[in-house]
């Protein structure tokens, strides 16, 4: 049988094509669960991002603090260090003298505090004398840090 001219103008193919479909109640419920999961995924990622940013911020602040201390040290030309010293407490003159043992330079000479004026039963080599020495170095470091922190806030 011969094809007519009308049949030559028709072409039929089968395949998958996007077509709108009305969802069943089960499909709607499943889509809702997937959507809720996506929201949870976003929230989890945002929490991870927030934690990572906080970590980066802390790391940057730590480095900025090091930069600040180094710049102060360079600008002022001094750094507070733990140096072996001898502390002489002269109860006759009520003075305390701190002398570096490596250079024999007197680094601190001051009057005794009321607490220091009380003579103790400990020998100079006992822990009490060492504790006072370490405490003075710590106080100097805190004073140095506070002075420089004040200068830092003055610049802002």
| pLDDT value of residue 110 | 95
Q: Are residues 94 and 114 in the same domain?
A: yes
Looking at the structure, tell me whether residues 73 and 106 fall in a common domain: no
What is residue 133's predicted lDDT score, i.e. its pLDDT?
56
Q: How far apart (Å, rounded) are the C-alpha atoms in residues 37 and 42?
A: 9
Residue 5: per-residue pLDDT = 63
Residue 9 falls within a domain, yes or no? no
Do 89 and 74 reside in the same domain of the chain? no
Q: What is the mean pLDDT of residues 56-74?
A: 96
At residue 150 the predicted structure's pLDDT band, cuts being 50, 70 and 90, is: low
Instruction: Assess whether pLDDT exceeds 70 at residue 4.
Output: no
Q: pLDDT per residue over 8-56, tens digit each?
A: 788 888 999 999 999 999 999 999 999 999 999 999 999 999 999 999 9
Domain assignment present for residue 66? The answer is yes
Rounded to 5 degrees, what are φ and ψ at 33? -65, -40
What mean pLDDT comes out for the span 93-110?
A: 94
pLDDT score, position 135: 64
72-105 burial by CB neighbour count: b if 16+ within 10 A, else e? beeeeeeeeeeeebeeebeeeeeebbbeeeeeee
Mean pLDDT of 64-76: 95
What is the value of pTM for the model shown? 0.44
Whether residues 66 and 128 fall in one domain: no
Rounded Cα distance between 11 and 3, Å, is 13
- Which structural domain range is residue 143 located in? 85-155
Residue-wise pLDDT for 112-149, tens only, equals 998 888 876 555 555 445 455 556 666 777 777 777 66
User: Which pLDDT value is given to residue 127?
Assistant: 46
Nearest to 94 by CA among 110, 73, 74: 110
pLDDT at 41: 97
45 and 31 in one domain? yes
SS3 118: coil
Same domain, 91 and 147: yes
Examine the domain organization and report whether 69 and 89 are in the same domain. no
The neighbouring-strand residues paired with 90 are 95
Residue 80: predicted pLDDT: 87
**Residue 2 maps to a domain:** no
Domain count, the chain: 2
């Amino acid at each position: 049988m011969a094809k007519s001219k009308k049949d030559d103008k028709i072409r039929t193919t089968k395949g998958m094509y996007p077509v709108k479909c009305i969802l069943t109640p089960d499909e709607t419920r499943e889509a809702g669960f997937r959507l809720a999961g996506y929201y949870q995924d976003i929230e989890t990622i945002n929490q991870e991002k927030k934690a990572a940013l906080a970590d980066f911020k802390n790391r940057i602040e730590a480095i900025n603090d090091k930069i600040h201390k180094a710049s102060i040290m360079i600008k002022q030309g001094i750094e507070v260090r733990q140096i072996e010293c001898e502390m002489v407490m002269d109860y006759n003159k009520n003075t305390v003298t701190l002398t570096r043992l490596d250079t024999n330079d007197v680094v601190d000479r001051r009057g005794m505090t009321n607490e220091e004026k009380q003579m103790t039963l400990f020998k100079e080599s006992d822990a009490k004398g060492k504790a006072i020495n370490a405490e003075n170095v710590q106080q100097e470091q805190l004073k140095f840090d506070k002075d420089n922190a004040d200068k830092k806030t003055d610049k802002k």
